[in-house]
Structure 1
């Protein structure tokens, strides 16, 4: 299998992390979003949506959308609960990540870390802070109850939300007000086979 991604992207990092935890072999194809690598004719043949990550199989099949790929890779593993309700809770957190977390924290990170908060995006950046803190509070409430987002062990829910949360300071989010999130981040980083974000 080949994974096409940008090492700076949290959505791409998720796949590296789950592949490391599950010892899944793959070839990493590094792309640079800012350089237009996802807009080339050859890439658009693989994913007409022009987004990464994608998973390319040896037989030519392509799977896109980070959480869909995560669920495929983790099928049958301890990262995806067998109990239907707990499995649905994992999906609940993954939908939360894509709709209530990533659009705020990841975008704020891009505006600050990569663009330096240009004046024409300052209002947008400040609005992202509100949504991002709302998402972090939701996570903090759950992590006050359980060590991981779906109970006592790590699941895909944690991997999905860890990717951008652990670098949220690059988007201006101060995690000192979220002690349970900080403990959760450390818990994941202490896992055997943990892989830092910029590893290729």
Structure 2
């Protein structure tokens, strides 16, 4: 059985757990958190020198870091990857957007708010910058979701899984989703997918 090493409260770590639930892929969850130094433990660093979660570990011992790379691996051949070449490229475009334009602002601002260990980094300048950057990223999503049910074509893809993770947590970072009704409707659609599981879910046993 595969193992997903990750931090339960992390949106990036939630992505592969959620996808595995949606696709009914069995896995073990191993809690590893930067908050208690788990990501700097020598045994963990031996698996991934970058010292970050999530990390996928296969049955044969091979490991794969980076949340969106893990999504692509788990979803190969599934309904969450479009068959059409251009739609598949659009999906990838949203995955890059999530890591470069969304996560650095929406996720980071939420982390600065909810984790006391990061309070010293929550300077007024950084909070203002992440708020502005997050609003810009959410506006890009809203432009699409105001007129469409999903980010790519007419069915959920990995783009929706990747961007759902931190977008549904955005209010914890001080973002008002009442300003983006298209996003709010989309969040409800993702949450209604069969076998959807919440952020704090991990498999039993």
Q: What TM-score do you get using the length of structure 2 for normalisation? A: 0.95
SS of structure 2 residue aligned to 1:34: coil
Distance 1:151 1:9, change over 3 A: same
Q: Which residue pairs with 1:109 in the alignment?
A: 110
Q: 2:147 aligns with which of 145, 148, 152?
A: 145
- 1:58 Cα deviation from its structure 2 partner: 1.4
Distance 1:7 1:120, change over 3 A: closer
- 1:118 Cα deviation from its structure 2 partner: 4.9
- 1:120 Cα deviation from its structure 2 partner: 5.6
Q: Which residue pairs with 2:169 in the alignment?
A: 167
2:86 is the alignment partner of 1:85: yes
* CA deviations over 1:23-57 (Å, ceiling 9, x no partner): 00000001121101000110000000000101111
Q: Which residue pairs with 1:30 in the alignment?
A: 31
2:17 is the alignment partner of 1:44: no
* CA deviations over 1:111-133 (Å, ceiling 9, x no partner): 11113855862220111000000
SS of structure 2 residue aligned to 1:195: coil
SS of structure 1 residue aligned to 2:161: helix
Q: Which runs of 5+ in 1 are unaligned?
A: none
2:124 is the alignment partner of 1:122: yes
* CA deviations over 1:132-160 (Å, ceiling 9, x no partner): 00000000000122100002111000000
Contact 2:146-2:181 at 8 Å conserved across structures = no
Q: Which residue pairs with 1:5 in the alignment?
A: 6
Q: Which runs of 5+ in 2 are unaligned?
A: none
2:52 is the alignment partner of 1:56: no
Q: Which residue pairs with 1:65 in the alignment?
A: 66
CA distance in 1, matches of 2:60, 2:35: 29
Q: Which residue pairs with 1:94 in the alignment?
A: 95
CA distance in 1, matches of 2:100, 2:17: 22
- 1:197 Cα deviation from its structure 2 partner: 0.4
SS of structure 1 residue aligned to 2:35: helix
Q: Which residue pairs with 1:76 in the alignment?
A: 77
* CA deviations over 1:142-179 (Å, ceiling 9, x no partner): 01221000021110000000000001011110110000
Distance 1:117 1:178, change over 3 A: farther
CA distance in 2, matches of 1:117, 1:96: 27
Contact 1:117-1:125 at 8 Å conserved across structures = no
Contact 1:111-1:121 at 8 Å conserved across structures = no
